[in-house]
Homo-oligomer: A and B are copies of this chain.
Amino acid sequence: MIVFRTVAYRLVDKNLVLEKLRGVLDPEIGRSIVDLKMVRDISASDGNVYVKIALTVAHCPLAKTLQADVENAVRKLDDVRSVKVETTTMSRKELEELKQQLQPGAGPSTPSRGGPGVGPGIERLGKRGVRSIIAVISGKGGVGKSFVTSMLASVLKRSGYEVGVLDADLTGPSIAKVLGVSGKPYKSPGGGIVPLRTKTGIKVMSINLVLDDPSMPVVWRGPIVNSVIRQLYWDVDWGDLHYLLVDLPPGTSDAPLTVFQSLPLDGVIVVSSPQDLASMIVSKAVNMAKKMDVPILGLVENMSYLKCPGCGKTTNVFGESKGENLASSLGVSFLGAIPLDPAIARLSDEGKIEEYSNSIIEGIVNELRTRAAKQVEHLTQGLPIAWSIEP
């Protein structure tokens, strides 16, 4: 029997495309682009699909991310040969209507769980203009928390989000070096500390930016550590951010405890390495997060294996990968396994980790922003940041 392939292409149905688009959320507003009336045109012929999307803001930094999301969603349909996504911009009238639609559910820009006090206390601080605060934890040192934190930040920034990184590791601060930030933060006329920015625009705050000599230790006992972490969050003018990532030190003592108790965390990402030894200590951190009622977004295994640059042979330098089993035994999602790569150490040492690219990390970020987008809708934390950036 002969089947003409062209027959199959004709079967792509505009209604099926619309159905798929219903699952695509605006990366900022966290609602379906169909509900937001952003889908303006759909056509399909011979398996070639065309979609036109109306952006809320011209040159929105998230436009490319939204286009990619639309394309990926449509590609999931059978018989699709190509997808073309074009964008236009909403008219002023359309935008006003959308604002009206969103406004009722949206709270003021400085709402929060808990009071706004700062100091050595433990009461939870407010969220102000930050949408999602995510801590990267491990319990174990040296598994690559700072690498994962800065990669998540880099990929989110590349996707068009406003991102900040708070380095809560006061005694082993790595973030400023890995992200290539130096210089001293200054105080704004309003009194807040202005964080420094990386080449791509990630806002960074770390104790090492405040010290005169980054090789000098901060020999501080717990109460001072706690107070300083609270200040790095509250006294810093983070402005409007989609994501504030918090890099935690190893352990389950003062610094992590302060972050869990004082910062309004939306979730944590757990980093492990393949050693049994690491699993045991990572379990401690996960159990701590559970005790403190912080949602665990998932577990990433780092340093999973090394592919020899000479012969291509894979070596399990730290033992066989067991991230998936560990995640399932702890009852958390497994987000992926990142291999060892000498380029990581080199780019970290050169302060150029933003240049690193890895499909596994991109997958983790996609997972993360989908979850966060849903959460944003739930939290209804105000209007999209892009609206205030682009007047």
A residues sitting closer than 8 Å to B (CB atoms) are 139-143, 146, 170-174, 177-178, 214-223, 225, 249-255, 257, 273-277, 280-281, 283-285, 287-288, 291, 306, 308-311, 313, 315-319, 340, 342, 345-346, 348-349
Contacts and interface: CB of A to CB of B under 8 A. Distances in A.
A284 B140 contact: no
- Number of copies of this protein chain within its complex: 2
Given A171-B251, A253-B221, A216 B287 contact: yes
A178 B306 contact: no
Nearest to A146: B277
Contact of A275 (B139, B220, B313, B348): B348
A94 B172 CA distance: 56
B345 A274 contact: yes
Given A217-B284, A219-B291, A222-B222, 12 more contacts: A140-B141, A140-B172, A141-B249, A215-B287, A216-B287, A222-B223, A306-B306, A306-B315, A308-B311, A308-B315, A311-B311, A319-B342
A215 B172 contact: no
Given A172-B284, A283-B215, A313-B310, A276 B177 contact: yes
Nearest to A255: B253
Contacts of A221: 222, 253-254, 257
Q: Which 7 A-B pairs have the closest CB atoms?
A: A141-B141, A142-B142, A222-B222, A310-B313, A171-B251, A217-B284, A215-B283
Contact of A174 (B173, B214, B277, B340): B277
Contacts of A317: 306, 317, 340, 342, 345
